[in-house]
Structure 1
């Protein structure tokens, strides 16, 4: 991969589901080696989530909306 210039156009595009199990979300954002970090984000409320029975799902639709509403300054 060294020396390769990838852009967003080069990545496969899959539409985001409105909610997904938190571990699948961690894999989806390429944090599969850091599930404990993602779980911490959820516990501290940085990522919108909801408990359904004994399962925790991430509200991807709300997270996307929140991120799009933020002003980004570099």
Structure 2
């Protein structure tokens, strides 16, 4: 179950990168989630680390004052 959640989050992050939205992100999340589950605990760590880094970068960008 955790693998499916991480796969969905990875798919969402990949979909945000290109900005189109929709089916492509869901399909990528399913494929990546399946691949991460097959890799075992290492895959879960890699996928979770990717999502955590993207969330950290997004939060950091919001907190920084805009430069002129």
TM-score range, shorter chain: 0.3 to 0.5
Quick check: which one's strand share is greater? Answer: 1
Larger radius of gyration: 1
